[in-house]
Structure 1
Amino acid sequence: MIDLKHMKRGPIMFALIVGMFVAALNETLMGNALPELMKSFGVSATTAQWLATAYLLVVGVLVPVTAVLQQWFTTRQMFLSAMSLFFVGTVISAVSPEFGVLLIGRIIQAIGTGVLLPLTMNIIMTIFPPEKRGGAMGMLGLVVMFAPAIGPTISGLIVDGLSWRWLFYLVIPFALFAIIVGFAVLKNVSDVTKPRVDFLSIGLSTIGFGGIVFGFSKAGELGWSVPLVIWTITAGGIALALFVWRQLLLKEPVMDLRAFRYPTFALVAVLLFVLLMTFFSSAIMLPMFMQGVLLMTAFQSGLILLPGGIVNGLMAPISGKLFDKFGPRVLVIPGLVVAAASLWLFTRFDETTTTGFLVAVHIALMVGIALVMMPAQTAGLNQLPRHLHPHGTAILNTLQQVSGAIGTALYISIMSSGQKQYLSGASDPQSPVEIAKGLAAGINNAFWIGVILAFVAFLLGLLLRKGKPPELQDQNMYAE
């Protein structure tokens, strides 16, 4: 057992925040650069999209096995390895002479990110006592939400004024700084037990989660009737079912699904899965609306989304502190109401929507998300005994990847169907004005699904309670 009595948590949090800032910023830097990369390497949009699809796929495949990795390697080994891989991937991407090399660099970056996400949450759950975890998770939320929010804006500035390579040159010093800080201050806070590794489970996990994430990602791009989509989702679903069945039989599972025996954790997992389908999808829909209906540039759309992202980041530590004081219900229920109301207002958007109204509604959505995300995750993880924390964080992070893929595919399908239906009744379906109106109609239809999902999440939120964390009986282990 690691002695946490005299551990200085501040330097460890600083190292984690620097690392997460680098990884989170990188996730949204590429969006505005895809057209430029297509020109630079002479590739199609479908090929260029692999820079985003492969990244999501690798993270989705790797996160489920991080629970067992954290039991085989120390905290320092995991963090430094993750950041080193991320650094190497960034350097390769920056100097890549052809598209294939750039894709390899992005995949290496994704490996580092896939390890870092659940590792960071698990370290926080380990080093902080239950009554302080909300504030700590809130600080993490500040970084996780703020960095992606400024990513599109920074990307737009760089692509407009410099080479796309500066998207990676910019990240290199931050990644190197994170490695130096981690090497200097990070302590080992995990118990290395080296359980037996079931490679069959890892294989099933890779095929299962990878197939589902890939299949749904391609469904949004190609449609649901394409054989590639049908077979990958089917194979993923079968492998995932076998993975779950095997985990329930194993004495030392790769992902311990016994975490779902704890009602609050199970409730939070379902609530976040439902809500995040809408959250990730709105991040795709809004730029499409602004650029396709309001005819804004990528940089302009990034600027409009920036205030909401900043407010969301600033709200994260506040909601964390309030969670420590009042528990989850006081935050989660109002947050879900605000999120649902914002999504309803999204269904009213059309070609006459003003910039001010769009910014205000997006800010409201981000406030609602901030009141739900970290408090709900902390409430769920708080109910797990310490030995299940690596598995709980792996489960929640895996569900985020899967919900993002499913939600995006669902929204894009509904949007496309709605646009086609509108244009089928238009007098001039080739008119740019009618195409824009059709896109707005399709996006409105998609956001109605978001309203329904938010209402389902609200009903789940009503069941949320603040239980007593198991570690309270070992409270002396956190004593200063």
Structure 2
Amino acid sequence: MSAAIPERPAVKAGRTPTVVRLLVLATFVVILNETIMINAIPRLMHSLRISEQSAQWVSTVFMLTMAVVIPITGWFLQRVTTRQAYAISMGVFLAGTVLSAVAPSFEVLLMGRVVQAAGTAVMMPLLMTTLMIVVPDHDRGRVMGNVTLAISVAPALGPAVSGLILQVGSWRLLFVVVVPIAALVTFFGLRKLDNISEPQVSSIDWLSVGVAAFGFGGLVYGLSLFGDSDGKVGLATGIVIAGGAAIAVFVIRQLKLQRTGVPLMDLRTLGHRTFSLSLALLSIGFLAMLGAMILLPLYLQNLRGLSPLETGLLVMPGGLGMGLLGPSIGKIFDRFGGRLLVVPGSIGMVLALGGFTQVSTTMPYWQVLGLHALLMVSLAATFTPVFTLGMGGLPPHLYSHGSSMLGTLQQVAAAFGTALVVTVMSARTTHLVADGVAAVPAQVSGMKLAFGVTAALALVTIVVAAKLPPRIAGADAQDHGSADGDTAVSEPPGHGEPATVSQN
């Protein structure tokens, strides 16, 4: 029987619902760990006696696990209450953090990171789905500006935070510091958190789960191998092709289930034009951000001789600016719409990445800081409106599927961005060294080319930004997003509709 579309709890104008505040805080804590290990690579190599390629896996395995788990979250969030999803997510994350902190070997550390990522994978879809249910559309830009702090600024601040902590002691402190913070967030969250929806009984197609895990996991793993310096290009290419083929099978399976059953990831979300455009723009944005985050520490530490702490302090203003501007950008979106922000933001992203193509061993640090700040502010101006427009362009019963798709593509884009810039930089450097160019000038040239490639890709965001609508008018009242020009797609009655809200 068809369930009722959820009613929103009463929310005062200009106030962020408590449930969203709690979820933003929890999401910030868990997503911060995705990039917090980037500056710890040298410490890990020395402490655990591992190679640089092995040490990189503390970050890669996190993205890999996220890419595998996130597709399942759409089904999972429909099966449990808000409090249950929160408790399970934070409990799993805490267990992984403790395991990582006490890990006696590299293998156990990787296992801890896998457990951490499994808990983290649930938080962003839970936050996005909850926000779309409890926040009225006229206030979503402001609230989404606060959410930007968690889903965009946390990865940007990871290297800066780790640089400060590593100045004090061991890499284990990166996990020890997080444990009490995450425990307090979990405790107070469970005391204050209300359920905003009732669970629905639904089945899961385990074939889809297996194919999704192999496809998305294989794609991220294969892309990560391109960044290795051990000549694994052939193996990486084969794994990427196999992962792509598995994803194709996954898509065919979901299309069939949309007609006869319950899909693991509802691809009808892609039938909504605004969501598809938002997905493309966000993927390229995360690719550019992660690519720059990998290249800048390499440039500042390997070529300019800065310490992890100095590197962290240099990139911190950009990350903080991104977070502090989030709420203001959200208010501008609510008042004027998205185009005023997204188009200039996309142009700023291209200009910043283009500026980094001029890096050298003598570039003033204030220029590096300024370009990084421009990139972060441009991404903030882009992410908040695009997240809001993309999710707002979906009908309520597709919110959980849309948020899980955004999260999955974010991880794939991050892995692709990391692999792309490292591969381009390494290939260019190796070629120049073989031609007799000194190592340092060759590395500088490789970084310039890598930044140039990301800048060229970012040009696509300007075109996509121009096609986005200024705002979604009455998206919640629509069945299939017709207000933003989306094409209606036929759907079985009662399929996947959200249940009535339970307000405690």
Per the normalisation by structure 2, the TM-score is 0.89
Q: Which residue does 2:249 correspond to in 1?
A: 242
Which shifted more, 389-398 or 157-166? 157-166
Which sits farther off after the overlay, 401-410 or 160-169? 160-169
Deviations 1:79-115 (A, max 9, x none): 1100011111111111222222222211111100011
C-alpha separation in 2, matches of 1:213 and 1:240: 12
Indicate the residue corresponding to 1:457 in structure 2.
Answer: 461
Q: Which consecutive residues of structure 1, in runs of 5 or more, have no partner in the other structure?
A: none
Tell me if structure 1 keeps the 8 A contact 2:352–2:372: yes
* Alpha-carbon distance in 2 for matches of 1:370, 1:223: 36
Deviation at 1:71?
1.1
Equivalent residue for 1:42, pick from 44, 49, 73: 49
Deviations 1:2-50, CA, capped at 9 Å, x for gaps = 4433468532123112211211222222122222122222222232222
Contact 1:134 1:320 in 2 (8 A): yes
Deviation at 1:149, TM superposition (A): 3.8
CA distance in 2, matches of 1:442, 1:81: 44
The question of 1:4 aligning with 2:11 is answered no
Which region of structure 1 is more displaced relative to structure 2, 212-221 or 288-297? 288-297
Measured after TM superposition, the shift of residue 450 of structure 1 is 1.6
Cα deviation code 1:110-163 (max 9, x no counterpart): 100011121111111111111111111110112334433443233223323222
1:222-264 deviation digits (Å, cap 9, x = unpaired) = 4775343123212111110010111111131110000111111
1:97 to 101, 104, 120: 104
User: Is residue 424 of structure 2 the alignment partner of residue 414 of structure 1?
Assistant: yes
Match in the other structure for 1:157: 164
Q: Which moved more, 1:59-68 or 1:312-321?
A: 312-321
1:384–1:469: 8 Å Cα contact kept in structure 2? Answer: no
**Corresponding position of 2:95:** 88
What is the CA-CA distance between 1:348 and the residue it aligns to?
1.0
Match of 2:476 in 1: 471
2: distance between equivalents of 1:7 and 1:468?
Answer: 19
Match of 1:283 in 2: 293
Return the letter of the residue paired with 1:436: V
For 1:314, give the aligned amino acid. L
Give the 3 Å change call, closer, same or farther, for CA 410–146 of structure 1 in structure 2. Answer: closer
Q: What amino acid is the match of 1:156?
A: G
Q: CA deviation at 1:54?
A: 1.2
Give the structure 1 partner of residue 349 of structure 2: 339
Q: CA deviation at 1:321?
A: 1.3
Instruction: From 397, 407, 413, give the equivalent of 1:403.
Output: 413
- When the two chains are superposed, the root-mean-square deviation of aligned CA atoms in Å is 2.0
Hey, what's the Cα distance between the residues in 1 that align with 2:432 and 2:54?
30
Aligned pairs (5 A) from 1:266-305: 266-305=276-315
Partner Cα distance (1:5, 1:311) in 2: 32
Query: Given residue 441 of structure 1, which amino acid in structure 2 is its aligned partner?
Result: S
* Alignment counterpart, residue 376 of structure 1, candidates 376, 383, 386: 386
Flag the 1:148–1:260 CA change in 2: closer, same or farther, 3 A.
closer
1:306 pairs with 309, 316, 330, which one? 316
**Distance in 2 between residues matched to 1:149 and 1:463, nearest whole Å:** 27
CA 1:163 to 1:107, structure 2 compared with 1: closer, same or farther past 3 Å?
A: same
Work out whether 1:15 is the aligned partner of 2:22: yes
Amino acid at match of 1:335: G
Query: Is contact 1:132-1:324 (8 Å) kept?
Result: yes
Q: Give the SS at the match of 1:352.
A: coil
Q: Relative to structure 1, is the Cα distance of residues 5 and 13 closer, same or farther in structure 2, using a 3 angstrom cutoff? A: closer
Partner residue of 1:362? 372
- The runs of 4+ residues in structure 1 deviating greater than 6 Å are none
**Aligned pair 1:443/2:447, yes or no?**
yes
1:408 Cα offset (Å): 1.6
Q: Name which of 33, 53, 56 aligns with 2:40.
A: 33
TM-score (norm 1): 0.93
Residues 284 and 457 of structure 2 are in contact (CA less than 8 Å); yes or no, is this contact kept in structure 1? yes
- How far apart are 1:392 and its partner, in Å? 0.6
Q: Contact 1:422–1:438 at 8 Å: present in 2 too?
A: yes
Over 3 Å counting, the alpha-carbon distance change for 1:224 and 1:65 in structure 2 is farther
Residue aligning to 1:330: 340
* Identity level (%): 38
Equivalent pairs counted in the alignment come to 471
Alignment CA distance shift 1:47-1:248 (3 Å): same
Shift in Å at residue 378 of structure 1? 0.9
Within 5 Å, give how 1:253-272 maps onto structure 2: 253-272=263-282
What is the CA distance between 1:422 and its match in structure 2?
2.8
2:156 touches 2:293 (CA, 8 Å); kept in 1? no
The CA distance in 2 between the partners of 1:299 and 1:456, in whole Å, is 34
Cα distance in 1, alignment partners of residues 231 and 137 from structure 2: 44
SS of residue matched to 1:220:
coil
1:234 and 1:146 map into 2 onto residues whose CA distance is 32
2:472 maps to a residue whose letter is G
Please say if residues 28 and 149 of structure 2, whose CA atoms lie closer than 8 Å, have aligned partners that are also in contact. Answer: no
For structure 2, list consecutive stretches of 5 or more residues without a partner in the other structure. Answer: 480-499
Q: Is the contact between residue 335 and residue 372 of structure 1 (CA under 8 Å) also seen in structure 2?
A: yes
Correspondence for 1:424: 434
